[in-house]
């Protein structure tokens, strides 16, 4: 199964958390070794207000994710992880190669990289 990459927060116990929104049961914690379904709703970009159907933001390669991570000021508590995805679609209005996944799977042995 192809790997994709995502930026996550990491806590003091090395748990992965979504950056901004809850993932399951109102919490940001992202469990490993199980499929996680995205909350499907209408979202909009903060900069220009473009509307889109939400999903987990992922990038197709580590290099693209590292380049994308340069947009973030907070780096010490964030990591890039590898994961698997189902039901991917291009985030059409994004100038980067960001894709939206309806489901993600984070294996317990996923790759973990620092932001650069």
pLDDT (tens place) for every residue of the chain, 116 residues total? 899 999 999 999 999 999 877 776 678 899 999 999 988 777 766 666 777 777 899 999 999 999 999 888 888 899 999 999 999 998 876 767 899 999 999 999 999 999 98
Structure tokens at 91: 């985030």
The residue whose two tokens read 């070794």 is 33
Model-level pTM? 0.88
Which residues, 6 or more positions from 68, have their beta carbon under 8 angstroms from its beta carbon?
Answer: 7, 59, 96, 98
**How do the domains of the chain map onto residue ranges?**
4-114
Give the per-residue SS3 of 39-59. CCCEEECCCCCCEEECCEEEE
Distance separating alpha carbons of residues 67 and 34, to the nearest angstrom: 28
Distance separating alpha carbons of residues 107 and 104, to the nearest angstrom: 10
């Amino acid at each position: 199964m192809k790997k994709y990459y995502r930026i996550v927060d990491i806590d003091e116990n090395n748990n992965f958390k979504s950056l901004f929104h809850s993932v399951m049961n109102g919490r940001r914690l992202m469990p490993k070794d199980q499929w996680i379904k995205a909350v499907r709703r209408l979202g909009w970009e903060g900069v220009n207000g473009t509307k889109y159907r939400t999903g987990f933001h992922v990038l197709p390669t580590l290099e693209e994710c590292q380049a994308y991570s340069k947009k973030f000021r907070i780096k010490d508590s964030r990591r890039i992880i590898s994961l698997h995805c189902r039901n991917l679609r291009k985030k059409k209005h994004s100038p980067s190669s960001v894709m939206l996944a309806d489901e993600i799977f984070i294996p317990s042995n996923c790759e973990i990289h620092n932001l650069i």
